[in-house]
């Protein structure tokens, strides 16, 4: 889906619901500044949730190459934005991914695309971390995968506890990354600038 021009079924209905939400909030959806807001929000939500229509496994297999490289491959500092499923507010940050190939590699940009697909769904950071790891493990069948996500959550910054500088870090790993020395090597490499 091209986020600027293609939208999924249900767009008009979604916009109608947002118009009703504006009314329930005490706004006049017919005033000049809000007349186009319901459709704008509906389109934005479809873009922010486009990951439901995309296949992350296919992204990896479309760029699968036989290669006898068996050292750590790291793609770090992948920017991401997602929507918290509890409050539908954004959370955002960086994803760091490593895998150790087992006969096959994938295009480096495909790792970032996997992050993009899973982050463009209603999420919790813990599940997002696991989904990225599981997808790479199941598709590439490497010797191991590790994913670390560092994120700021607007649901903690704008409402509730209102802690603007808090960062949440999650990790998940498999295979060779069960060894402490391999995990430590990855963590040292992602800290380098």
**Residue 155 annotated in active site:** yes
193 CB-contact burial (10 Å; exposed 0-12 / middle 13-18 / buried 19+): exposed
- Of these residues, 46, 84, 96, 123, which one is catalytic? 84
Dihedral sign for Cα atoms in the order 8, 108, 178, 183: negative
- Of these residues, 123, 131, 135, 153, which one is catalytic? 153
Q: Which two tokens stand for residue 146?
A: 């590790």
- Of these residues, 125, 131, 135, 137, which one is catalytic? 125
CA-based nearest residue to 120, from 193, 25, 47: 47
Angle between helices 11-24 and 37-48 (to 10 degrees): 120
- Of these residues, 86, 138, 179, 184, which one is catalytic? 86
- Of these residues, 6, 85, 138, 184, which one is catalytic? 85
- Of these residues, 27, 87, 130, 150, which one is catalytic? 87
**Residue 125 annotated in active site:** yes
- Of these residues, 152, 155, 157, 185, which one is catalytic? 155
Q: What angle do CA 162, 168, 172 make, to 5 degrees?
A: 155
**Residue 135 annotated in active site:** no
Active site residues: 84-87, 125, 153, 155
């Amino acid at each position: 889906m091209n986020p600027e021009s293609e939208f999924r079924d249900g767009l008009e209905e979604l916009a109608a619901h947002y118009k009703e939400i504006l009314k329930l909030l005490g706004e006049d959806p017919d005033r000049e500044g809000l007349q186009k807001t319901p459709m704008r929000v509906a389109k934005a939500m479809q873009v922010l949730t486009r990951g439901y229509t995309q296949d992350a496994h296919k992204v990896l297999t479309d760029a699968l190459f036989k290669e006898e490289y068996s050292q750590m491959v790291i793609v770090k500092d992948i920017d991401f934005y997602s929507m918290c499923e509890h409050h539908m507010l954004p959370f955002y940050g960086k994803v760091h991914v490593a895998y150790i190939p087992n006969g096959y590699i994938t295009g480096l940009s495909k790792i970032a695309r996997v992050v993009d697909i899973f982050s463009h769904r209603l999420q919790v950071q813990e599940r997002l971390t696991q989904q990225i790891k599981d997808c790479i493990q199941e598709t590439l069948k490497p010797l191991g995968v590790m994913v670390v996500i560092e994120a700021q959550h607007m649901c903690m910054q704008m409402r509730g506890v209102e802690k603007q500088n808090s960062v949440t870090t999650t990790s998940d790993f498999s295979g060779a990354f069960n060894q402490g020395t391999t995990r430590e090597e990855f963590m040292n490499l992602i800290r380098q600038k």
